[in-house]
Structure 1
Amino acid sequence: MRRSLLVLITPALLAGCGSDASETDAGTEPEPTTRVVESAYGEVEIPAEPQRIVADLMTVDYLTALGYDTDTIVGVFGLDFYADDETHYLRDELAREGLVDPGFAYDADLEAVAAADPDLILLPFDQIDGAKGREKLAAIAPLVAVPTSEEDADGGRYGGTASFQDWRGTLRSYGELLGREDEADAFIAETEDQIEQLREEHADVIAATEVVQAKSTPEYVAINPIETDLAALGSILLGELGFHEPAAVQDAEVDEWGSVDVSQENTSLLDGDLLFLEVREGSDRHESSPLWETLEVVQNDGVVTVGNHWQFGGAVGAREVLADIDATLTELAGS
């Protein structure tokens, strides 16, 4: 049961008010300064209008999609990791002066969080669940873990699919939390229209094109398959548009993260008509294989370098992925 706030007016205060004021103000109460919301960990009392939010990257994305005032964000978990990328799709938000980086949420610097003096800590369930310091964070300021999908896809894991996979469900959850359900629905409808337009405009190219979506980091190279329950955002959207993968990728073994490991020996898995490749931290690991230059996708200039939003992006990230695909298909159509 949700709690409500009761405002008590003392007899002494009433005696000090004139009869006109009593008649004018009869039956009215001051606007409550807090409200109770449902979090993944139960009910949480938060400010009615938060002014100092410590959030994570996904929250910055979803608040931006909802048109929420992101100037209220005073700290971002893992800020420096993302802000170092000058091409990041949320660069304008992450480069704001004065933002605090307390480290990633699962291992946050509690002193840095406290120094930011937040009145709300806000992030998706999947980005805080299991963190050892969660209760200590909640002692600094009200912590709201936002459910990340409409259904519990894992049969017990609250929040279901990750926030960077089910962007629709997560956006609706943020919209409900912030009283912006209409804005969430409008953003989703507009994005659905973009997907449908892309699908129709490029139907022939999509049907004839085999795509691979992968990431190259200084530590490893891996494919994000389309046909998996743990697909990354970019792969999910490729699948929604109707793209298909080479048979070798479809038959490859998927690890616990939903990825297919690419060693120097099986670099041929990256071959297709198009390779959307996220390159992290300037990685050239994918090029270290002697097979790289032999790939048809390399020889045919079919490698498209993309940003981290293909792996880790929300509602705004989804539109950025669609823009990347649109630009690539438009270029293909004109060649």
Structure 2
Amino acid sequence: MSTTPLIRRGAALAAALLSATLVLTGCGGDDGGTGDTGDTAAKTRTVTAGNGAVEIPAAPQRVVALGNTTQPFIDIGGKPVGVTELSASELDPIPAEQKATYQAATNLGADTAQVDLEKLAGLKPDLILVQVPDSEFEGIKKQLETIAPTVYWGLDTEWKAFADGLAEAGNLTDALSGQKTQFNDKVTKIKETYRQIIADTKFVAVDRWDNSDPGTFVITDFGCIEIAADDIGLNSPKAEAGKDPLGWADLPFEQIAGLSEYDAILYPVDAAGQPKKAFAPVVESNTWKALPTVTSGHALGVFCPGNNSYGPVLQYLDSLDSALASLPAK
């Protein structure tokens, strides 16, 4: 039995640690996130993250984004001078302007374990942002900190806190504020539009990982389904407190039939609405095709490009909105 891979949007237990949010402590000037430098460029402020209190420029101009910070930093309007690589699946869904920003930055390596420190130093950054596993960060922490002030988040940082931290460190709080407004508006609309469906429907989210054993799938309780459950209020199964996430346990195809106890199934699709490549074997199975939930049209494909920054989450909410619209109210 395999477990879920390390997902770049953060760890499965992401809702646990809000304390890693960066907190502005008012040391030095700040332009409110507008990006204007003025005389604040020479001033500093202190932020607190997973590696403690870090003194950084008030308005950093040459930011390097490593690990999981690359896409979320660009998503809130950041223009890094150096990045680690995004996979094709991460890069494809993002807007063209963000792709151009990513491509304009210097590629420092496939991941932080392979980052070219000499090339990084040559960029003369004034701030380095990092989110990787703790052990990986410990291996490069000293080298990074000798190059520029380094702000680190662990993989268990909750995604909204992570976005707040990136915006605070990068002096991009105004841009983030606009995304938050869009998010809150979409959540409110979905909850109001589908109030009865949300109240009366028993949902289940299923998936299949790239490294799942052949002939297996998972019932998952992390990723975008967390947003659907926690922010929208969808009734879907989750692990008991203190237990491993449901999505860590591969289930044999024989258990697909057990999904009939749910009123609606949410399964992963790509931007074109086709089943995600790893999940395709599930929908091609006879057991899936025979499910009453499937034959009645209550198996809903939902596109989740990511859940560690507001841009991808907004795309997910649009897809979820369309999926819920196909369900008849009871």
Band of TM-score, shorter chain = 0.5 to 0.7
> Does 1:38 pair with 2:47?
yes
Deviates more, 1:199-208 or 1:287-296: 287-296
Equivalent residue for 1:201, pick from 178, 189, 193? 193
> Does 1:294 pair with 2:303?
no
Q: Match of 1:143?
A: 150
Distance across 2 between alignment mates of 1:36 and 1:128: 26
SS at structure 2 position matched to 1:130 = helix
1:110-160: CA deviation from partner (whole Å, max 9, x where unpaired): 355445553322134xx35221223223333321125xxxxxxxxxxxx7x
Deviates more, 1:41-50 or 1:196-205: 41-50
Q: Match of 1:26?
A: none
SS at structure 1 position matched to 2:227 = helix
Deviation at 1:58, TM superposition (A): 5.0
Q: Which amino acid aligns with 1:49?
A: A
Q: Match of 2:227?
A: 236
Deviation at 1:327, TM superposition (A): 1.4
Equivalent residue for 1:314, pick from 282, 285, 309? 309
Deviation at 1:103, TM superposition (A): 1.9
Deviation at 1:201, TM superposition (A): 0.9
Deviation at 1:243, TM superposition (A): 1.5
> Does 1:93 pair with 2:98?
yes
Q: Which amino acid aligns with 2:169?
A: L
Distance across 2 between alignment mates of 1:173 and 1:43: 13
Deviation at 1:53, TM superposition (A): 2.1
Q: Match of 1:75?
A: 82
Q: How does 1:190-269 map to 2 (within 5 A)?
A: 190-220=182-212, 221-225=217-221, 231-245=222-236, 255=244, 259-268=248-257
Q: Which amino acid aligns with 1:318?
A: V
Deviation at 1:37, TM superposition (A): 2.4
SS at structure 2 position matched to 1:46 = strand
Deviation at 1:95, TM superposition (A): 4.8
1:17-73: CA deviation from partner (whole Å, max 9, x where unpaired): xxxxxxxxxxxx96552524224323434344333322147535544564x3x3x31
Q: Residues 103 and 37 (structure 1 numbering): CA distance in 2 closer, same or farther, change over 3 Å?
A: farther
Deviation at 1:107, TM superposition (A): 5.2
Q: Residues 31 and 286 (structure 1 numbering): CA distance in 2 closer, same or farther, change over 3 Å?
A: same
Deviation at 1:197, TM superposition (A): 1.8
Deviation at 1:290, TM superposition (A): 4.9
Deviation at 1:320, TM superposition (A): 1.8
SS at structure 2 position matched to 1:265 = helix
1:258-313: CA deviation from partner (whole Å, max 9, x where unpaired): 6442322323355542323256973234346552322233333424042341xx43
Deviation at 1:255, TM superposition (A): 3.0
Q: Match of 1:156?
A: none
Q: Match of 1:118?
A: 125
1:209-252: CA deviation from partner (whole Å, max 9, x where unpaired): 33222332332133322xxxxx3233233343221136xx778x
Residues 198 and 326 of structure 1 are in contact (CA less than 8 Å); yes or no, is this contact kept in structure 2? yes
SS at structure 1 position matched to 2:161 = helix
SS at structure 1 position matched to 2:326 = helix
Under a length normalisation based on structure 2, what TM-score does the superposition of the two structures give?
Answer: 0.67
Under a length normalisation based on structure 1, what TM-score does the superposition of the two structures give?
Answer: 0.66
Deviation at 1:199, TM superposition (A): 0.6
Distance across 1 between alignment mates of 2:227 and 2:70: 21
Q: How does 1:152-163 map to 2 (within 5 A)?
A: 162-163=156-157
Identity %: 22
Q: Match of 1:150?
A: none
Q: Residues 65 and 186 (structure 1 numbering): CA distance in 2 closer, same or farther, change over 3 Å?
A: same
Residues 75 and 116 of structure 1 are in contact (CA less than 8 Å); yes or no, is this contact kept in structure 2? yes
Greater C-alpha Rg: 1
1:70-90: CA deviation from partner (whole Å, max 9, x where unpaired): 3x313333323545x53x245
Structure 1 gap ranges (5+):
6-28, 147-158, 226-230
Deviation at 1:324, TM superposition (A): 1.1
Q: Residues 266 and 297 (structure 1 numbering): CA distance in 2 closer, same or farther, change over 3 Å?
A: same
Q: Residues 170 and 195 (structure 1 numbering): CA distance in 2 closer, same or farther, change over 3 Å?
A: same
Distance across 1 between alignment mates of 2:54 and 2:197: 49
> Does 1:329 pair with 2:324?
yes
Q: Residues 286 and 258 (structure 1 numbering): CA distance in 2 closer, same or farther, change over 3 Å?
A: closer
Distance across 1 between alignment mates of 2:287 and 2:95: 35
Equivalent residue for 2:267, pick from 267, 276, 279? 276
